[in-house]
Structure 1
Amino acid sequence: MKKVVLTIVSVFFAVLLFAQANDPIVGKWQNPSGEGKIEIYKKSDKYYGKLYWIKDANKKDAKNPDEKLRSRKIQGLEILTNFTKDGDTYSGGQIYDPKSGKTYSCKMTLKGKDKLDIRGYMGVSLLGRTETWKRID
C-alpha cells in the first residue's frame, strides 16, 4: 500500500513539474523597484498574478475606487487577471496598480527565461508603459 501511495505522489509531482515547465511564465517575479514580489500561476486556461510580498506588509488599498475595498491589505492581492497565452506573449488580461487604484489593460512578454516585460495601457498598447520584472527563486 505504501508503494502505491508513493507512486501516486511521485506521478502527481512529475505532472506538476512538467506543467510548470510548459508554462515558463509561472513562478515568482520581482518588480524593478524591488518593492513587490508577484507570483504568477495558472487557473484553468488563464494566468493570474498575486502580490505575495511587499515592503510594507500592512499597507492598505487606500486608492481603490471602491470605498469598501480601501481597508484591505495590498499584500496577497491578485493584481494580474485573465491572461491567455500566445507563444511568449500573454495578453487579454488586466493589471491593477495599487499605488494609483487604477486597472489597466496589460500584455506580458517573456524575454528569455528570467525577464518579463509588463506593458500596462489604456485603450491602445501604443499609449502605455512597460517595466521589466525579473524572475526570483
Structure 2
Amino acid sequence: MRTLAHSIALTIAVAFAAPLSAAESVAGSWITATKDGVVRIGDCGATVCGRLARFLVVPPQGADQRDVHNPDASLRSRKLLGLPILSGFREDGAVWRGTIYDPKAGKSYRSIIRRLDASRLEVKGCIGPFCQTQVWRRAD
C-alpha cells in the first residue's frame, strides 16, 4: 500500500512540475541591447519569430536602409525595417531555440532566448560552443 501511495504522490508531483519547466512566453516588443531598434516577437506559423519593428537610432542610409551586408546578393535589397531578426524558434524546456540574424554583419547564428523576468529577455547568439549574451528590455 505504501508503494502505491508513493507512486501516486510521485505522479502528481511530476504532473504539476512539468508546466513549471516550460519556457515563458517571449512574445512582445523588445528593445535591443544596443538600444538602436525594437524587435517584435510573436507567432510565425509553427514557430516563433521576431522582426525589426522600428528604429530607435536611424541607420546611416536612413529609415529605408537595406540589408546590404547579407551574403546572399539576392537579399541585399530587403528593407531592414520588418526584417526577420529571430526565426524558427521552438520551445525547448525553459528556453526557446532558433536562429538570430545580425544585419550589421550579415551573419546568422544559432540562438537561445529566455525570459529573465517580465521586463528582460536574455538573447544568446552562438558559434559552436561559444555564445555571446545580450539582455533586451521590454518596449511594451
Separation in 2, partners of 1:60, 1:34: 19
| Alignment partner of 1:132 out of 121, 130, 135 | 135
SS in 1 for 2:87: strand
Q: Distance in 2 between matches of 1:29 and 1:107?
A: 15
Q: Deviations over 1:86-130 (max 9, x none)?
A: 343111x10000000000000001101110110001122xx1200
Q: Which residue of 1 aligns with 2:70?
A: 64
Q: Is the 8 A contact 2:99 2:108 kept in 1?
A: yes
Alignment match, 2:90: 84
Q: Which residue of 1 aligns with 2:5?
A: none
**Corresponding position of 1:73:** 79
Of all paired residues, the percent bearing the same amino acid is: 35
Q: Does the alignment pair 1:106 with 2:106? A: no
Letter in 1 for 2:135: T
Q: Confirm whether residue 122 of structure 1 aligns to residue 123 of structure 2.
A: no
| AA of the residue aligned to 2:29 | K
> TM-score, normalised to structure 2's length?
0.75
Q: Which residue of 1 aligns with 2:35?
A: 34
Contact 1:90 1:109 in 2 (8 A): yes
Alignment match, 1:96: 101
The letter of the residue matching 1:118 is V
Q: What stretches of structure 1 of length at least 5 have no aligned partner?
A: 1-21
**CA gap 1:45/1:102 in 2 versus in 1, 3 angstroms:** same
Contact 2:66/2:78, CA 8 A, preserved across alignment: yes
Bigger Cα Rg: 2
Aligned residue pairs, count: 113
32-41 vs 50-59, greater mean Cα deviation: 50-59
Q: Report if the CA contact (8 A) 1:24-1:113 is conserved.
A: no
**Aligned CA-pair RMSD:** 1.6
The list of structure 1 runs, each at least 4 consecutive aligned residues, that deviate by more than 4 angstroms after superposition, is: none
State the distance in 2 between where 1:114 and 1:87 align. Answer: 20
